[in-house]
Amino acid sequence: MAGASYPGTMDTPDDDWLRLDQQICFSLHAASRAFNGVYRVILKDLGLTYPQYLVMLVLWEHGELPVKKLGEHLRLDSGTLSPLLKRLEAAGLVTRERSARDERSVQVRLTEEGTELRRRALQVPRRIAASTGFGAAEIRALRARLDDLTTALDAAALSETPGGSPADARS
Partner DNA sequence: CGCCATTCAATTGTGCGCAACTTAATTGTG
Partner DNA sequence: CACAATTAAGTTGCGCACAATTGAATGGCG
Chain residues in the site for DNA (CB under 7 A): 29, 33, 36-37, 40, 49-52, 66-68, 71, 75-87, 96, 101-106
Number of neighbours of residue 69 by Cβ within 10 angstroms: 15
DSSP calls for 9-41: STT--HHHHHHHHHHHHHHHHHHHHHHHHHHHH
Instruction: Tell me the closest approach of the beta carbon of residue 103 to a second copy, in angstroms.
Output: 31
Q: Are 49 and 40 in contact (CB under 8 A)?
A: yes
DSSP string, 96-116: EEE-SS-TT-EEEEE-HHHHH
Site track 13-52 with a second copy (rule: CB under 8 A), x = hit: -xx-xxxxxxxxxxxxxxxxxxx-xxx-xx-x-----x--
Query: Is residue 134 part of the contact set for a second copy (CB under 8 A)?
Result: yes
Rounded CA-CA distance 158/126 in Å is 37
User: Minimum CB separation from a second copy for residue 102, in Å?
Assistant: 27
Binds 133: which of a second copy, DNA, none (CB < 5-8 Å by kind): a second copy
Whichever of 15 and 103 has its CB closer to a second copy, that residue is 15
Nearer Cβ to a second copy (111/131): 131
